[in-house]
Chains A and B, each alone.
Chain A
Amino acid sequence: MFNTGTKKVIRDLLQEKRRTLTVLLAMIIGVFAVAMMSTSKSLLDNNLTENFLRTNPASFSLFVNNTDKSILNEIQSNKEIEQVTTRQSIWIRTKKNDGTFLPILLYIVDDVQNPLISTYRLDEGAFPLAKNEIVFERTGKKLEHFYVGQLLELHFPGFSKENYTVTGFTHDAGIAPSWMEGYLYGYISASSLPDEFLAKFPTEIKFTVADDKFDLRHIEGVAKETKAQLEQKGVKVINSEIHEPGVHMHQKQMNALMFLILNFGILALFLSCFLIINMISAIMAKEIKQIAIMKSTGASSFQIARIYISTILILAVSSILIGTPLGIMAGKAFATFNASMLNFELFNISIEPMVLLIIVLTGICLPVIMSVFPILKSSRVSVQKALNDTGVENVEGQNHFFSVIGRLFSGSFLLALKNAFRRKTRLALTVISLSIGGAIFITAFNIRQSTNSTIDSVFDKQPQDILFSFSQPCDESRIDSVLQSFSIEYELGFKAEGNFVQTNGLTSNAFTITAIDESSKLIAPVITQGRWVQGGKNELVVNQILLKDNASLKIGDMVNLSIKSKTEEYTLVGVCKEMFTPAGLFMGKSDFARHNDISPNSGNLLMVDALTEKQKEIAAISVGVEEAFKLDHINIVNSITKDAYKTAVVEHLLIIMAMLLSMTMLVVIVGGMGMATSININVSERIRELGILRAIGILKKNIRAMVMTEAITMAILSWVVAIILAYPLSYFLGNQFFTIFFESSMTVSFSSVGISLWLVLGIFIGVISSIMPANRVIKRQVVEALSYE
Chain B
Amino acid sequence: MIYDLKVQRVFDCTPEDVFDAFTDPEAQKEWYQLDPDWTVETECDVRVGGVWKSAWGPPGSEPYRETSVFQVVDRPRRLVMTSTMKMPDGSSIDTDLEITLEEMNGKTRMTILQSGFPTPESRDAFESGWPGALERLAGVVHARVSGPRG
**Do chains A and B stick together as partners?**
no
